[in-house]
């Protein structure tokens, strides 16, 4: 046992607890932040180009994709879109979820149609 561990048992225990908590949280992360989500990442980038203007409610999702800025609206879009991409929710559930968060808008139908039209036919199930 190290001298540090003998002198600072509480700090060592706290550090171990924090490390354990961080490891356990990685299994609960939204699909959009999994490191092996290259297909999903490419899909989102494609939406940013193919679906311009990509606007849901009063949010310019296309601009969020271009900037890659982390924000609550963008994170919500990514999480919902990853659930759609990985077949965890249906297109109807996806649309309802995003409209309830972002609100109604005149461009919603066109944006959702483009998002759904660009879904890869053979997209995978949820990552492990």
Cα–Cα distance measured from residue 112 to residue 108, given in angstroms and rounded to the nearest whole number: 6
Q: How, if at all, do strands 59-60 and 55-56 pair?
A: antiparallel
Residue 42, pLDDT > 70, answer: yes
Res 127: pLDDT = 58
Report the pLDDT averaged over residues 68-78.
Answer: 91
Res 122: pLDDT = 85
pLDDT bracket for residue 10 (50, 70, 90)? very low
Burial 29-51 (b: 16+ CB within 10 A, else e): eebbebeebeebeebbeebbeeb
Which 3 state secondary structure label does DSSP give 59? strand
Give percent of the chain above pLDDT 70: 69
| Contacts of residue 45, Cβ cutoff 8 Å, sequence gap at least 6 | 65
Cα–Cα distance measured from residue 121 to residue 128, given in angstroms and rounded to the nearest whole number: 20
Report the pLDDT averaged over residues 38-55.
Answer: 94
pTM: 0.70
Res 23: pLDDT = 38
Cα–Cα distance measured from residue 20 to residue 23, given in angstroms and rounded to the nearest whole number: 5
68 contacts 48 by C-beta, under 8 angstroms? no
- Name which residue leads in pLDDT, 52 or 23: 52
Mean pLDDT of all residues belonging to the chain = 79
Nearest to 45 by CA among 23, 24, 25, 61: 61
Res 34: pLDDT = 47
């Amino acid at each position: 046992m190290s001298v540090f561990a003998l002198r600072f048992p509480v700090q060592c225990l706290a550090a171990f607890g924090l490390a354990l908590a961080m490891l356990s949280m990685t299994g609960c992360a939204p699909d959009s932040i999994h490191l092996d989500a290259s297909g999903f990442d490419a899909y989102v980038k494609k939406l940013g180009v193919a679906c311009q203007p990509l606007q849901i409610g009063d949010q310019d999702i296309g601009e969020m994709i271009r900037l890659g800025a982390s924000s609550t609206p963008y994170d919500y879009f990514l999480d919902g879109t990853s659930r759609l991409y990985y077949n965890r929710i249906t297109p109807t559930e996806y649309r309802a979820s995003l409209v309830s968060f972002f609100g109604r808008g005149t461009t919603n139908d066109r944006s959702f149609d483009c998002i759904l039209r660009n879904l890869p036919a053979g997209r995978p199930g949820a990552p492990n």
